[in-house]
Structure 1
Amino acid sequence: MSLLADVFTADGDGEPRFLDVPEGPSDPAGFESRRTTVRGSGTVRPRGARFFPRPAGDELRVPPQDVAEFIGEVLLFQGDIESIAVPMDPPKPVAQRVGEISDRLDSILDAAHRASQIRGGVRNR
């Protein structure tokens, strides 16, 4: 199963309304295993990550008022992807793991920017 980055707004009852992905951007945010190998990894947590570390199976949900801070966290990881990719176990070359993580962070960042433009939130499920 793959994780997706969704943008949401609140409807009149305060319930989330998830928006369609516009033409161009994509929403893949990584494989299910990335919940532990990237988001909750020992290399992410010490960097002061507030949003990404979640227990396996929990979705990441960023409310509208926290999207700017979330964007900062994504940018922090984008600037240091190699140190996140190196300790991962898969038998893939580090450069390939870096590319995969970078692509997924780009999708998440794109969703976060779209959310910030409409005062919406982001969900990574």
Structure 2
Amino acid sequence: MSLNITMARPTTDGTLTFRDVPPGVDASAGGESTRQWLYSSQIVRDLGAVYLPRLADDRLVVPPEETVAFLRECARVLAELPAVPAAPPPTSRPTSSTSNAA
């Protein structure tokens, strides 16, 4: 499963009208594991992020009036990206090992 960015506009009745992604724009925000290890990581929280950590548990809806604050948060995290640890290795199933020792 992948994490994607979807643009939507709120309507007067409280629903959302979803917009098509413009041609040539990549709407990918990483794999589903990115939600857990990056967006909700302590280092991202230590950078003062309040929007991105919400992705750990739910979808993120940024109201139009908060878009600038969200973009600033993204820029802050991107600026510190070299300090963010690499993704942990995928969880693997334990394997049983047998020993041939006598």
* Equivalenced residues, count: 90
Flag as ranges the 4+ runs of structure 1 deviating above 3 A: none
Partner of 2:88: 89
Q: CA deviation at 1:12?
A: 3.5
Q: How does 1:1-125 map to 2 (within 5 A)?
A: 1-54=1-54, 56-84=56-84, 86=85, 88-90=87-89
Q: Normalising by structure 2, what TM-score? A: 0.80
RCO higher in 1 or 2 (8 Å CA, sep ≥ 6)? 1
Over aligned residue pairs, what C-alpha RMSD do you find? Answer: 1.6
List alignment gaps of at least 5 residues for structure 1. 92-125
Q: CA deviation at 1:68?
A: 0.3
Q: Which amino acid aligns with 1:88?
A: A
Greater share of residues in helix: 1
Q: Normalising by structure 1, what TM-score? A: 0.66
Larger Rg: 2
Distance 1:51 1:32, change over 3 A: same
Greater share of residues in strand: 1
Q: Give % identity.
A: 36
List alignment gaps of at least 5 residues for structure 2. 91-102
